Structure 1
Amino acid sequence: MDFTECYGDTVSSVAVAARSGCRKRVRRLIQRGFSVDGRDNRGWNALHEAAAAGSKGCVLEIVSAAGAASPRSCGAYVNSLTHEGESACYLAAQRGHLAVVRLLLKAHADVNQLTNDLSCPLYAAVDGGHREVVDLLVSKGAEVDRTHTASCWTCLHQAVYPNLFCLFSSKGHKEIVRILVGVCNLEALDDHKISPLFVAAQYGQRECLEVLVNAGANVSAQAADLATPLLIASQEGHRACVDFLLDHGADPDAACSHEWPQLPIHAAAEFGHIGILKRLIAVTDRVCDRGRGAVSPLFLAVHGRQSRSVEALLRDGYSPDAQDCSHVLGVRSPLSLALSTSTEPCSESVRLLVAAGASLGEEDWIHAVATDRTDLLRLILEHRRVPRHQALTGDSSTHCGQTFLKLQELRELLCVALHQVHFAACWLPVLLEAGLEPSLLLQPHMLEQADGEVLSYLLEFVNWSTLPPSLKRVLDRRREEKTWEPRPHLDSIPRLSHVCRLQVRAALGPARLMRTGVVQRLPVPAPLHAFLRFRDIPEATCTRSPPSSPLSNRIQRHRRTHQHRHVL
């Protein structure tokens, strides 16, 4: 754009000629008496234009003219600044015009002149990736450890930071770092106490890391928040940097947080960098797995919704129960965290943890039962079978290769379920199909509080004629109060077909009967298959609105009011 058209009263003809790099025209205009000091609306004069354009010839003509006109003020002219505080030397260094920078320095340009934003010729050359200019400025005494940004970055910080230049020439970038490490403070810190090596690790500058470490930089220097280069490289997924740091003495067990003992393995697990995670698993002290006061990386894997990280940790022997982190993270176990994560729990993490044998507590059962959804409950019971009634006297968690709920887990499931009767229409069919002995739910509280349809559904799975007198009195009272209307056949003695069905259920085991194809192999007519599997009984529908309070509030209320019901 020809600025003479827009700013004819401020842009000198010499400046326009210098911008185009036409040395002959600049010389003619100077000889005709045109000034070299006229400024435009940006505060640029002819020397600024020539330096920015990289025209050594124009610069030489203008500097010579300024010196001839006033030898004493020539130095001031060479160091004159634009409105942004930019000198001609800065503009040339910023654009990588080596010959122009050399010429200006001979004309006594200030090598350390700062701009309004605290930059300088050396910082500009580093940022632009101009290796030869950097080398020249350093040799001419440029200050290398001054801070140049609001974040207190030095030239070495900027040298390892990837900018647009790095996309095209990583070699030049590395060579600039190689120049600076010989003269700069390797441990210079910004306002967060971050060193240049930390920046290189954060942005995956593997070659720059090598240069810094070979020059003696500390691989374990910690920032103000205790983060280490190994932590940040693990978080950002820079595998080559992680490998290099570990191979050169970085400590994988150094605590990287003031709040809790965070390690690099936690960052890799949270962000799902599986290759890095596997490398760190091999070198990290296992005290983080179950150690008191520590935090298992499983918590971070679940928090980050990284099921592959969960799988890798479990496969390598990390405990699915980890340690109780209620005091640190506010959750008891990785499974509790997986069940409570947002409105859409981490189902895959839940599956992996349950299949690996994670212990289920009251809070876990609340997340699975105190809802109108059944996916979590089904997922848990798919991998942790309900033991047969005859096995409830023991506490064995495995039998014939199958993983079963422990006695205490089953007890807590029943306690929570009986406390969440409002949702029984949802969880009752799932539990009975999974093989739960229905007589365990024949408790006064259940019969008193359950919806009428739910109550009728439950009675279909038992011999209602053999109920104890106390429970029959509850049923009679509800009938009188018109809160329950029994299905017609429940008023009579159970049919022989129903009693036989109950015997088949008891003999085969509820889980085997309901969840396998064993019924189809029985020597009975095909129409009886659905009958034996209780498929003729319509499931209950919820007719009363469940509590509308958030699940977290229901958990707190459960903790305050729940009393264990001794049902086993």
Structure 2
Amino acid sequence: MPAAWLKVGQAQRMDFTECYRDTVSSVAAAARSGCRERVRKLIHRGCSVDSRDNRGWNALHEAAAAGSKECVREILSAAADSSRGCRAYVDSLTHEGESACYLAAQRGHLAVIRLLLKAHANINQPTNDLSCPLYAAVDGGHKEIVELLVSKGAEVNGTHTASCWTCLHQAVYKGHSDIVRILVTVCHLEALDDHKITPLFVAAQYGQQDCLKILVDAGASVNAQAADLATPLMIASQEGHEGCVDVLLDHRANPNLACSRDWPQLPIHAAAEFGHSGILKRLIAVTDRVCDRGDGMVSPLYAAVRTQSKSVKLLLREGYSPDAQDCTHILGLRSPLSFALCLTSDEPYSESVRLLVAAGASLSEEDWTYALATDKTDLLQLVLQHRWIPRPENSSRTLSVPSPLRSTALKLQELRELVCVALSQVHFAACWLPLLLKAGLEPSLLLQPNVVEAADSGVLNYLLGFVNWSILSTPLKHILDRRLEEKTWAPCPNFECVPCLSHLCRLQVRAVLGSDVLMRTDVVQQLPVPSPLHGYLQFANIQQASYAHSPPPPVSDRIEGYRSTHKHRHVL
């Protein structure tokens, strides 16, 4: 590059950290340093006090920002003798619209403010960003300046900044309780910003408990709703400000006021979703329980299962129903359990799922799909740990069953949907079939044509081992004969014979006791038979099939596949 070009490039560079004589006057530079004598000498030499730098600052701006009362006095005196006049000069603005009064208020220079007010400075002069001297003093926490400006008649209810905040909003936001105590005596307590948020709402949102108390004591409304219907109690519950929640509830904040236009959201939902246990406990005690099961309402369990298992645990312990209400038309969610399973991702189940199942949550067809349409059995084992498979409803048996067995049994509808899903998920039968049969499921419920047709050879043998294979229905026998000819089924050798007497006897024992009692209780230990037969009576000798297939598709694909192919079967 030619040397001449380098010189030109260097000449075009501008260093804004330096002060240039043609943009910053000598008087302004002296005022910035607070040197009164030099300011006086320069003025006597005829130097202008109104020369401006590239920010639009003159000597008065520099002196006010520096807090140099003496320099301000000298400059104002010089301006009074000029043709422009002191009144016009004292309100001169920088390029940002800042007056000397604003700069002094922003930096807390009380003495300078007094001088400027004596010179008739405009106390309400707005800046380009809609601030003003009072707002600047409030923002900086300069209590004495706030008191002075208020006493001199500063506008206290004006809106500032793009959010339309008042000085009271800003004082509360910053937590300047001494200033809030001054402003509540002169400001409009229910002033609204652009989202219709009051100063009290701001206090609740940012946890400014002292300011909140001052506002409440001054008469501010504790139930004022923002544009989106959020209340101070809801926002404090969401943000976890327990002290603010206590103050609001102690002053009659309404915990049952709907806080959303989309669905009946209450403060308890916010506390549950964000896991604020202390707040949640307080709200449980005062929130109407209609939100738990009421039509058109939403249980806080829906909010809790999203991320907070500790909230789920607390709500269940306090008596909230694990089934809640069907919110399909409100949130697109059928139950808290369905929602929790949907959020489980690749894990077998979450802590929220465990808590809901343990609390007796009802299972739908889609819920059973999460448990059966996979090679993982963790979720199914969890369900069977807490729920019993009951005997058929039309059973004529009257055998007394222990009360815990009856109280935790699956409902007939749940059992029907379990079997429907099982019949549609024969591909994974090697995983779930042993668990269901050992849990007491009546094997005849699964002896359907599609199972006999599609089941792997080992799965089919395992299922047939729980029944009297010699008295199968004619259609099922035809399917078995065809599979035998096609060599898609390798039956156990004993299937070619009539079942032995011992097998028929254990089938009769199960018929008398019931599959659920025989397989899930210790009743077999009480039978008058040799102990080596206990395992035999519970079908322990039947060899399980092994699962050796490709990994299952994602949960969402399994659910969608079940929805698109499932046809309801009347199995019970």
User: Which sits farther off after the overlay, 22-31 or 45-54?
Assistant: 22-31
SS at match of 2:221: coil
Is 1:233 matched up with 2:245? no
Cα gap change, 1:288/1:390 in structure 2, threshold over 3 Å: closer, same or farther?
Answer: closer
Instruction: Quote the Cα distance in structure 1 between the aligned partners of 2:489 and 2:285.
Output: 62
SS at match of 1:269: helix
SS at match of 1:401: helix
Residue pairs, 1:420-435, within 5 angstroms: 420-435=425-440
Which residue identity does 1:310 align to in structure 2? V
Instruction: Quote the Cα distance in structure 1 between the aligned partners of 2:274 and 2:147.
Output: 40
Instruction: Quote the Cα distance in structure 1 between the aligned partners of 2:110 and 2:401.
Output: 77
Q: Is the contact between residue 454 and residue 541 of structure 1 (CA under 8 Å) also seen in structure 2?
A: no
Instruction: Give how far 1:291 is off.
Output: 1.6
Is 1:278 matched up with 2:305? no
Is 1:459 matched up with 2:472? no
Q: Is the contact between residue 168 and residue 187 of structure 2 (CA under 8 Å) also seen in structure 1?
A: yes
Instruction: Give how far 1:219 is off.
Output: 0.9
Is 1:87 matched up with 2:99? yes
Instruction: Quote the Cα distance in structure 2 between the aligned partners of 1:337 and 1:150.
Output: 40
Instruction: Give how far 1:547 is off.
Output: 6.5
Instruction: Give how far 1:211 is off.
Output: 1.0
Instruction: Quote the Cα distance in structure 1 between the aligned partners of 2:395 and 2:52.
Output: 94
Cα gap change, 1:43/1:393 in structure 2, threshold over 3 Å: closer, same or farther?
Answer: farther
Instruction: Give how far 1:177 is off.
Output: 0.8
Q: Is the contact between residue 504 and residue 532 of structure 1 (CA under 8 Å) also seen in structure 2?
A: no
Q: Is the contact between residue 93 and residue 99 of structure 2 (CA under 8 Å) also seen in structure 1?
A: yes
Q: Is the contact between residue 422 and residue 546 of structure 1 (CA under 8 Å) also seen in structure 2?
A: no
Which residue identity does 1:223 align to in structure 2? A
Deviations 1:490-512 (A, max 9, x none): 55566788778878888998778
Which residue identity does 1:323 align to in structure 2? Q
Which residue identity does 1:276 align to in structure 2? I
Deviations 1:138-196 (A, max 9, x none): 1111111111122211111111113xxx4xxxxxx111111111111111111111111
Instruction: Quote the Cα distance in structure 2 between the aligned partners of 1:44 and 1:393.
Output: 99
Instruction: Quote the Cα distance in structure 2 between the aligned partners of 1:148 and 1:535.
Output: 82
Aligned residues: 552
Instruction: Give how far 1:75 is off.
Output: 2.0
Instruction: Quote the Cα distance in structure 1 between the aligned partners of 2:198 and 2:559.
Output: 43
With the length of structure 1 as denominator, give the TM-score of the two structures. Answer: 0.87
SS at match of 1:219: coil
Residue pairs, 1:525-540, within 5 angstroms: 534=540, 537-540=543-546
Alignment match, 1:309: 311
Instruction: Give how far 1:336 is off.
Output: 1.9
Which residue identity does 1:190 align to in structure 2? D
Instruction: Quote the Cα distance in structure 2 between the aligned partners of 1:41 and 1:495.
Output: 106
Deviations 1:198-256 (A, max 9, x none): 11111111111111111111111111111111111111111111111111111111121
Percent identity reads 70
User: Which sits farther off after the overlay, 341-350 or 515-524?
Assistant: 515-524
Instruction: Quote the Cα distance in structure 2 between the aligned partners of 1:73 and 1:238.
Output: 54
Alignment match, 2:267: 264
Instruction: Quote the Cα distance in structure 1 between the aligned partners of 2:235 and 2:401.
Output: 42
Deviations 1:255-294 (A, max 9, x none): 2122222211121112111111111111111111222211
Q: Is the contact between residue 388 and residue 437 of structure 1 (CA under 8 Å) also seen in structure 2?
A: yes
User: Which sits farther off after the overlay, 321-330 or 483-492?
Assistant: 483-492
Alignment match, 1:408: 413
Alignment match, 1:553: 560
**Which among 67, 87, 112 is matched to residue 54 of structure 1?**
67
Cα gap change, 1:518/1:25 in structure 2, threshold over 3 Å: closer, same or farther?
Answer: farther
Q: Is the contact between residue 457 and residue 540 of structure 1 (CA under 8 Å) also seen in structure 2?
A: no
SS at match of 1:192: coil
Q: Is the contact between residue 451 and residue 543 of structure 1 (CA under 8 Å) also seen in structure 2?
A: no
Cα gap change, 1:45/1:418 in structure 2, threshold over 3 Å: closer, same or farther?
Answer: same
Instruction: Quote the Cα distance in structure 2 between the aligned partners of 1:131 and 1:464.
Output: 93
Q: Is the contact between residue 465 and residue 542 of structure 2 (CA under 8 Å) also seen in structure 1?
A: no
User: Which sits farther off after the overlay, 336-345 or 142-151?
Assistant: 336-345
Alignment match, 1:293: 296
SS at match of 2:81: helix
Instruction: Give how far 1:536 is off.
Output: 7.3
Alignment match, 1:203: 206
Q: Is the contact between residue 451 and residue 544 of structure 1 (CA under 8 Å) also seen in structure 2?
A: no
Instruction: Quote the Cα distance in structure 2 between the aligned partners of 1:53 and 1:536.
Output: 93
With the length of structure 2 as denominator, give the TM-score of the two structures. Answer: 0.87
Alignment match, 1:338: 340
Deviations 1:363-392 (A, max 9, x none): 322232233433222221111122357996
Instruction: Quote the Cα distance in structure 1 between the aligned partners of 2:355 and 2:220.
Output: 42
Alignment match, 1:117: 129
Cα gap change, 1:525/1:396 in structure 2, threshold over 3 Å: closer, same or farther?
Answer: closer
Alignment match, 1:12: 25
Which residue identity does 2:117 align to in structure 1? L
Instruction: Quote the Cα distance in structure 2 between the aligned partners of 1:508 and 1:108.
Output: 101
Instruction: Quote the Cα distance in structure 2 between the aligned partners of 1:293 and 1:554.
Output: 30
Is 1:353 matched up with 2:350? no
Cα gap change, 1:317/1:524 in structure 2, threshold over 3 Å: closer, same or farther?
Answer: closer
Is 1:40 matched up with 2:37? no
Q: Is the contact between residue 153 and residue 190 of structure 1 (CA under 8 Å) also seen in structure 2?
A: yes
Cα gap change, 1:354/1:28 in structure 2, threshold over 3 Å: closer, same or farther?
Answer: same
User: Which sits farther off after the overlay, 243-252 or 406-415?
Assistant: 406-415
Which residue identity does 1:257 align to in structure 2? S
Deviations 1:406-461 (A, max 9, x none): 23321221112112223323322332343323333222221112233432333344
Instruction: Quote the Cα distance in structure 2 between the aligned partners of 1:306 and 1:74.
Output: 65
Is 1:371 matched up with 2:374? yes
Q: Is the contact between residue 395 and residue 406 of structure 1 (CA under 8 Å) also seen in structure 2?
A: no
Cα gap change, 1:3/1:75 in structure 2, threshold over 3 Å: closer, same or farther?
Answer: farther
User: Which sits farther off after the overlay, 238-247 or 370-379?
Assistant: 370-379
Q: Is the contact between residue 112 and residue 143 of structure 1 (CA under 8 Å) also seen in structure 2?
A: yes
Alignment match, 1:69: 82
Cα gap change, 1:282/1:545 in structure 2, threshold over 3 Å: closer, same or farther?
Answer: closer
Q: Is the contact between residue 160 and residue 205 of structure 1 (CA under 8 Å) also seen in structure 2?
A: yes
Which residue identity does 2:488 align to in structure 1? T
- Structure 1, unmatched stretches of 5+, are 167-172
SS at match of 2:92: coil
Q: Is the contact between residue 322 and residue 334 of structure 1 (CA under 8 Å) also seen in structure 2?
A: yes
Which residue identity does 1:540 align to in structure 2? S
Q: Is the contact between residue 425 and residue 540 of structure 1 (CA under 8 Å) also seen in structure 2?
A: yes
Instruction: Quote the Cα distance in structure 2 between the aligned partners of 1:131 and 1:46.
Output: 27
Is 1:31 matched up with 2:44? yes
Q: Is the contact between residue 398 and residue 404 of structure 1 (CA under 8 Å) also seen in structure 2?
A: no
Q: Is the contact between residue 344 and residue 350 of structure 2 (CA under 8 Å) also seen in structure 1?
A: no
Q: Is the contact between residue 127 and residue 159 of structure 1 (CA under 8 Å) also seen in structure 2?
A: yes
Instruction: Quote the Cα distance in structure 2 between the aligned partners of 1:395 and 1:376.
Output: 32
Alignment match, 1:417: 422
Q: Is the contact between residue 395 and residue 407 of structure 1 (CA under 8 Å) also seen in structure 2?
A: no
Which residue identity does 1:331 align to in structure 2? L
Which residue identity does 1:269 align to in structure 2? A
Deviations 1:33-55 (A, max 9, x none): 33222222222222212211212
**Which among 101, 110, 113 is matched to residue 98 of structure 1?**
110
Alignment match, 1:384: 387
- Give the alignment's Cα RMSD to 1 decimal: 3.3
User: Which sits farther off after the overlay, 13-22 or 495-504?
Assistant: 495-504
Instruction: Give how far 1:360 is off.
Output: 2.1
Q: Is the contact between residue 513 and residue 533 of structure 1 (CA under 8 Å) also seen in structure 2?
A: no
